[in-house]
Amino acid sequence: MKILVTGATGLIGKAVCRTLINDGHQVVILSRRATQTSPGMTAFRWEPERESPPVEAWEGVEAVIHLAGEPVAARWTNETKRRIRDSRVIGTRNLVAGMKALGQAPESLIAASAVGFYGDRGDEVLNESSPPGSGFLSEVSLEWEAEAARAREFGVRVAHARIGVVLSPEGGALEKMLTPFKLRLGGRLGSGRQWFPWIHLDDIVGILRHALMTPAINGAINGVAPGIVTNEEFTRELAGALNRPVFFPVPEFALRILMGEMAEVVLASQRVVPQVALDKGYQFRCPNLRPALDALLKS
């Protein structure tokens, strides 16, 4: 199969491309900078907020995995929030417009979204049929998914992968967490009672691949592990995996001073379950946190 991937230079995108190539697929990537690629990959330049992808990039493409978006892990100024929104909403709008203009559109679009869709929901159990919440990321995710869903109007199957906190030895959230814990400065955030929807990198890649290869998956699919924990439990397990004590809980007011509005992300409680992935036969490699952390830290 020939598969077009956006966001291919990010943490998830690089792992997705490696997996697809190892599976024997051809990969086309869209990037702001079309650089040297690996065997089995072809790159085209694309400015997602300004234009549709180049027509030549679509030749023979049968499916799309759309992962492009500005990172959210930064202090949210008005300009940062604009980039977060526009890179997802306008970028997806331009991608779908490019698909629509083709004589023959790809069969499927697996589009990233985020568990931020659900907002801050306390102890409520959230599956793919749960309604959206409130707040900036919820609003962005709702618009993001609506733009991707437009592809259904011309016969494309669309799956929205609502991705949680991805744990990887290659960077991302875990890398940022390790230093304070290694220095014996790690601790829970706020009350620690908020639910922490994590997933191992191998499993989010696996879920995206499963959504790609499973025609029955149409609509939302939560990209989280089934063994969800609270922030306090996550803190305890990470400290244990590193053989470090847990000290210095970071109070909510300090997080709000340090992070501004983005503190809502780490303080939000989202008890998300991967119901669709389980119902559609996905087998998690790392369903529980401690074995996942042990494997990640060894690697």
The pLDDT of residue 33: 76
For residue range 25-39, list pLDDT tens digits in order: 999 999 887 665 677
pLDDT at 71: 86
pLDDT for the residue 259 = 64
Task: Find, among 200, 212, 228, 276, the residue nearest to 15 by Cα.
Answer: 200
287, pLDDT greater than 80: yes
Q: What pLDDT was estimated at residue 270?
A: 95
Distance CA 33, CA 31 (A): 5
Quick one: average pLDDT of 237-260?
Answer: 75
Q: In angstroms, rounded to a whole number, what is the distance separating the alpha carbons of residues 218 and 264?
A: 30
Mean pLDDT of the chain, nearest integer: 90
pLDDT at 285: 96
Say what the pLDDT of residue 40 is. 77
In sequence order, the 6+-apart residues with CB closer than 8 A to the CB of 245 are: 184, 239
The answer to whether the CB of 43 falls within 8 A of the CB of 58 is no
Whether the pLDDT of residue 247 is over 70: the answer is: no
pLDDT digits (tens, 9 = 90+) for 112-159: 999 999 999 999 999 999 999 999 999 999 999 999 999 999 999 999
Alpha helices in the chain (DSSP H): 11-22, 78-100, 136-149, 172-182, 201-213, 231-241, 252-259, 263-267, 275-279, 289-298
pLDDT at residue 15 greater than cutoff 80: yes
Architecture of domain 2-168+198-226+271-284: 3-Layer(aba) Sandwich (3.40)
Give tens-digit pLDDT for 208-243.
999 999 999 999 999 999 999 998 998 888 888 888
Task: Give the Cα-Cα-Cα angle 272, 273, 274 (nearest 5 degrees).
Answer: 125
If we measure between CA atoms, which residue out of 16, 116, 26 comes closest to residue 68? 16
Closest CA to 239 of 188, 167, 169: 188
Q: Which residue has the higher pLDDT, 255 or 153?
A: 153
Region at 80 (left for phi over 0; alpha for psi -120 to 50; beta for the rest): alpha
Query: What pLDDT score was predicted for residue 75?
Result: 79
The whole model's pTM is what? 0.92
Instruction: Give the rounded distance of the alpha carbon of 157 from its chain centre.
Output: 19
